[in-house]
Amino acid sequence: MNNYNQIRVRFAPSPTGYLHVGGLRTALYNYLFARKNNGVFVLRIEDTDRARYVEGAVENLIDTLHWCGFDYDEGPQKNGSFGPYTQSERLEIYKSYTQTLIEQKKAYYCFCTQERISELRTAQENLKQQTKYDKLCLHLDHNVIAQKLKDGVPHVVRLNIEADKKVVVEDIIRGRVEFDSNLIDDQVLLKGDGYPTYHLANVIDDHLMKISHVIRGEEWLPSTPKHVLLYDAFGWEKPVFAHLPLLLNPDKSKLSKRQGDVAVEDYRAKGYLPESLVNFVALLGWNPGTEQEIFSLDELINIFSIEGVNKSGAVFNIEKLNAFNFEHLRKKNDTEVVRILKEYLAKSKFADHKFDDDKLFLIVEAMRPRISFVKEIIENSSYFFESPESYDQEVIQKRWKDDTSENLKSLAEEFSKLLNPKKEDYETALHKTAELLNIGNGKLIHGVRLALSGVGGGPGLYEILFILGKEESIRRIEKAIEKIRI
């Protein structure tokens, strides 16, 4: 265990376009660990790979974290004692520390061209050898180095890794992991463009920002010995490492866009609630030790522990995510659902329509048991917001008989006599009409449902009538009588 007197963790994404669900899980576990231990959650933007930088990605990332409910304590757009929190604004810091390593002979300038590096790699591969730099530039004379630097010869700076060392990584999740330094390349620390590599910037920033625990994906485990060697080269205390298991497709391959959505933004656009996505992602590789599966963010904070994270990969099961969304939607009160529904309506073809709040509450109440997503209210029951322009042909063939039009005329006439009708009044009127016509209730119910909604299913008919109101219901019945021909 390290000697840091406060838990400080960081989520350090690269702004390359979108937040992967694996990145969301990393952010979540760091956030939960910090909140559980009264620690600090830092957001750091690792934008040193300028070729992959995407304009607007940082703003999108911050917005996505806020949508998920993660409020970081230090980072871009926030005050903090260890900023700046964007690596491209810290270049002089990296250069200064690299110069210290060069002076101590723990790092060296490398002037080899990319062509020579490629030829070296090819030759090593042909001989079935480990592909790594051969330290040619380590042995350059001081005067030669000075002249090349003066002449502006392109170069990088490499870490001088000692041979025959055992590099040990102590990991909370994986235990003790050992690496052979003979198999580790003299990694580049500073690139030709003056920007640091991920490895250098990561270690320097974690040290200067007093990060106590590095919680990140398993894909970074092979890089960790490089980081350990850098900590040793600087003489710095190492943080505690925890490498999270891979996220897998159902076929056990690594989760990738080829087999489905991997971006948090994709799930947000599809209508998943942030609570359900966070809950689902929390259980991808972590076990609470109980039978409970549905958790709020506060409940996750209370029960989370790094020790509960598994080593083996976690399968991303979309059916389970859908089930979680249904459960979290059930937990929301009508006011919350109406608020979300209004957001979807504002982005839909109904954006210019004005809907009465009382009506929206009734629609939500009617549709709740039939949806897993709020947006399905619009998709599955657009008839609440506009009169149907077409009618399900299968239902017409099955339910619209020779006498349906005349029967519905009688029903509309009965409805017209109602004053401020409630649901029960519509039901009474329908039963009365059926009795007068000497037919079963069903012969009216199926026809009027089709006239009102254009489809054969949905909430209770009397709910639909009450929500639409007397005038609109009669208008739709008359329209259907006119339009439907068999």
Tokens of 178: 């050992």
pLDDT in tens, 353-379: 888 999 999 999 999 999 999 999 999
> In sequence order, what DSSP letters do the residues of 286-339 get, joined into one string?
B--SSS-----HHHHHHH--GGGB-SS-EE--HHHHHHHHHHHHHHS-HHHHHH
SS3 228: helix
132 contacts 186 by C-beta, under 8 angstroms: yes
Classify the C-alpha dihedral 158-159-164-166 as positive or negative: negative
419 contacts 466 by C-beta, under 8 angstroms: no
Topology at the third CATH level for domain 332-377: Helicase, Ruva Protein; domain 3 (1.10.8)
**Confidence at residue 3, expressed as pLDDT on a 0 to 100 scale:** 60
pLDDT in tens, 230-289: 999 999 999 999 999 999 888 888 887 655 668 999 999 999 999 999 999 999 999 998
Give mean pLDDT, residues 201-215. 98
Cα–Cα distance, 57 to 259 (Å, whole number): 23
Q: Which positions are annotated as active-site residues? A: 257
Classify the C-alpha dihedral 366-370-371-372 as positive or negative: positive
Classify the C-alpha dihedral 80-83-84-87 as positive or negative: negative
pLDDT in tens, 304-335: 999 999 999 999 999 999 999 999 999 999 99
**Confidence at residue 256, expressed as pLDDT on a 0 to 100 scale:** 72
Cα–Cα distance, 42 to 327 (Å, whole number): 31
Instruction: Specify the pairing of strand 8-11 against strand 40-43.
Output: parallel
Cα–Cα distance, 231 to 421 (Å, whole number): 77
Q: Which residues pair with 74 in a beta bridge?
A: 42
**Confidence at residue 53, expressed as pLDDT on a 0 to 100 scale:** 77
**Confidence at residue 249, expressed as pLDDT on a 0 to 100 scale:** 86
Specify the higher pLDDT residue, 67 or 486.
67
Give mean pLDDT, residues 55-65. 92
Indicate the domain borders of the chain. Answer: 1-75+245-327, 93-190, 332-377, 387-486
Axis-axis angle for helices 318-331, 274-282 (nearest 10) = 130
Instruction: Please determine, for residue 151, whether its predicted confidence score (pLDDT) is greater than 70.
Output: yes
82 contacts 132 by C-beta, under 8 angstroms: no
> In sequence order, what DSSP letters do the residues of 154-203 get, joined into one string?
--EEEE-PPSS-EEEEEETTTEEEEEEGGGS---EEE-TTSPBPHHHHHH
* Total residue count of the chain as it appears in this document: 486
**Confidence at residue 257, expressed as pLDDT on a 0 to 100 scale:** 61
Q: Which CATH class is domain 387-486?
A: mainly alpha
Whether 1-75+245-327 and 387-486 share one fold: the answer is no
Q: Which residues pair with 109 in a beta bridge?
A: 157
1-75+245-327 under CATH 3.40.50.620, yes or no? yes
> Could you give the percent of the chain with pLDDT greater than 70?
98
Tokens of 370: 């039939």
**Confidence at residue 1, expressed as pLDDT on a 0 to 100 scale:** 47
Task: Work out the burial of residue 439: count CB atoms within 10 Å of its CB; fewer than 13 is exposed, 13-18 middle, 19 or more buried.
Answer: middle
Topology at the third CATH level for domain 93-190: Glutamyl-tRNA Synthetase; domain 3 (3.90.800)
Cα–Cα distance, 215 to 455 (Å, whole number): 52
Cα–Cα distance, 108 to 127 (Å, whole number): 27
**Confidence at residue 12, expressed as pLDDT on a 0 to 100 scale:** 96
Split at pLDDT 50, 70, 90, the class of 44 is: very high
Q: How far is CA 387 from CA 2, 170, 468, in A?
A: 67, 65, 10
Q: How far is CA 354 from CA 75, 267, 320, 336, in A?
A: 41, 28, 36, 19
